[in-house]
Every structure is written in C-alpha cells, then in structure tokens.
Amino acid sequence: PLGPGTLAAGLAFVDYGEVEELVPDGLGLVGVPTGGVVTGGEVALSLGYGLRAGPVVLGAVARSLRVELAGLDATATALDV
C-alpha cells in the first residue's frame, strides 16, 4: 500500500525539569534568584517517507514541534526534504 518506499515515524521528548528562576540585576550582568522555579520541555512528532530512485535515495520528513519554557509556549511545523 505504501509503494516501493519506506515509511517512518518518530516521537522525541525532552523534559528540562525544574530550574531556579533568575532575573537580571540592575545592570543586567548577574542573575538574581527570585525564590521561584521554572519548568520546560519539548515534544517533536515526525512522519517521513523515503524512496530509492536508482542510485539516489529521496525522502521527506514532516515534523510538528512544541516547546514550553517558564510558562511560555510555541508550536511550529517543519518540513525536511
């Protein structure tokens, strides 16, 4: 059903854990502890397909990425060819 190619899927996860929260001092040179902690992590889901075309191998991977750090988050989509 997939033809002569190969299908691949992947899931990657990174947990940054808890890190002491710091804010810059008045000069912006030194981090000053706030007494709080920040957390974060990343998740990437990928789906790819590869196909041999004679001596060359062609392929593409689509990725969905999500990052969360210190209460902020971002989502992106990427395509590797």
CA dihedral angle for residue 18, residue 44, residue 79, residue 10, rounded to 10 degrees: 150
Could you give the domains of the chain?
6-80 (2.20.200)
> Considering the entire predicted model, what is its pTM?
0.72
Ramachandran area for residue 59 (φ above 0: left; ψ -120 to 50: alpha; else beta): beta
Using CA atoms, how far apart are residues 8 and 48, in angstroms rounded to an integer?
5
Mean pLDDT, the chain, as a whole number?
Answer: 93
Number of neighbouring beta carbons within 10 Å of residue 36: 11
Q: pLDDT per residue over 1-23, tens digit each?
A: 678 899 999 999 999 999 999 99
